[in-house]
Amino acid sequence: MKDLRNFYINGQWVQPLQTQDLAVENPATEESLAIISLGASGDVDLAVAAAKAAFPIYSQYSVEQRIALMEKLLDVYMARYDEMASAISMEMGAPISFATEAQAGCGHGHISAALEALKTFEFERQIGSTLVVKEPIGVCGFITPWNWPINQISCKVAPALATGCTMVLKPSEIAPLSGYLFTEMMDQAGFPAGVYNMVNGDGPGVGAVMASHPDVDMVSFTGSTRAGILVAKAAAETVKRVTQELGGKSPNIIFADADLESAVTGGVIGMMGNTGQSCNAPSRMLVEASVYDQAVEIARQVAAQIPVDQPAKQGEHIGPLSSRVQFDKVQGLITKGIEEGAELVAGGLGKPEGFETGYFVKPTVFAGVNNQMTIAREEIFGPVLTMIPFASEAEAIAIANDTPYGLAAYLSTGDDDRAKRVAGQLRAGMISLNSAQQDYTAPFGGYKQSGNGREWGEFGFDDFLEIKGISR
């Protein structure tokens, strides 16, 4: 079992101020694979003080100096790429092939995108008689989740480094191995002491302290909407900037003129990927009524063929959910769907046959759903798809927008004019037309209770910058 109890503060690995150990569980085996410490307010104070002391120096580094450090980080990351994939697979149950190709790939993608954006970013420009200067905001606090662990770490840390900020990271205590490994990489890359600091812990013990800390200038949080509200409230007393990437209940609208087999198959597979633990998952499949029954049958067949297997095995399959808490939540919402009268057409309650140990779940599809059912309103965060019929374009848009969330939306149609028209009316931050994939230079974020601010590429820079006008 790995001993990961130290924190990284001011360029050194240090012991926590007080002992509060937590075992990290492998969700596939239910066995402990590492032990970490849960930090407290004193640990946060030390980390923030280190970041505050480093800011006057690092904020004055030239673009060329920051580029050189980030290029070194990218080299270190790629040299230890397989270690990162293995850590993610063990800590949150991602199949090793998926962890290698997708999960670990996010770290490379975000560091590379921020690096390329930095090379051409305009930190100064003249507007009339005023020189408008974009300057680093200061000390940043990062609170990141377990579902795409290095994705959310790297898409916060990389733009902060690029813009000249200093920072304190609190990775998820559910999946802290990747954060610990990334911290080792930051140390290897040679950033000045105090620029990057890492304190493990839970939300009340570290996250809330960081959000309310008077010397933290901005907080970037990714997680549930419920927790995001608590972070915003904690930050309000010091009027610091808060950016949030929160929950989603994203619609996937399929019109009758789409390639039905392809659109439904892609929608089911997209929903089940990462065992459904993605904030932008296409969790509500809205299908035009004239082809709805066909779509349900296609979805049933596809879901029935999605394999569930151990994370250590190569191949395309889904692994377990991340924890017992998550397993119980998903089982409870499947039960709710059945109780409220939705038609269970694939999967359902309990674990797949042969998986008594571990938090494995069945790929599940509900049909006959209306948008007022619990499974259509709440973010399930498991491999559970709801299918809802619609009669017209206007009704599809109305159902799609009838949610407190607005992170992503998906749309399949053979009519280009309709695609543009409908996309323009969807209240979501990211729209995918006919299965188009988003790249690392696109803005990532949502409307309404899905958060505020944008991440990825040059769009991720803005939240880390203050704007100063110098008139003469």
CA distances from 5 to 20, 22, 31, 173 (A): 9, 9, 18, 12
Q: For the chain, what is the HEC assignment?
A: CEEECCEEECCEEECCCCCCEEEEEECCCCEEEEEEECCCHHHHHHHHHHHHHHHHHHCCCCHHHHHHHHHHHHHHHHHCHHHHHHHHHHHHCCCHHHHHHHHHHHHHHHHHHHHHHHHHCCCEEEECCEEEEEEECCEEEEECCCCCHHHHHHHHHHHHHHHCCEEEEECCCCCCHHHHHHHHHHHHHCCCCCCEEECCCCHHHHHHHHHHCCCCCEEEEECCHHHHHHHHHHHHCCCCEEEEECCCCCEEEECCCCCHHHHHHHHHHHHHHHHHCCCCCCCEEEEEHHHHHHHHHHHHHHHHHCCECCCCCCCCCECCCCCHHHHHHHHHHHHHHHHCCCEEEECCCCCCCCCCCCCCCCCEEEECCCCCCHHHHCCCCCCEEEEEEECCHHHHHHHHHCCCEECEEEEECCCHHHHHHHHCCCCCCEEEECCCCCCCCCCECCEECCEECCECHHHHCHHHEEEEEEEC
Residue with tokens 């929950």: 247
**Which of 234, 231, 208 minimizes the C-alpha distance to 221?**
231
245 is catalytic: yes
CA atoms within 13 Å, Cβ hemisphere of 250: 29
Q: How many other C-beta atoms lie within 10 A of the C-beta of residue 230?
A: 17
Cβ(223)–Cβ(379) under 8 Å? no
Which of 91, 173, 245, 288 is catalytic? The answer is 245
> Which of the following is catalytic: 155, 165, 279, 288?
279
The catalytic site residues sit at 245, 279
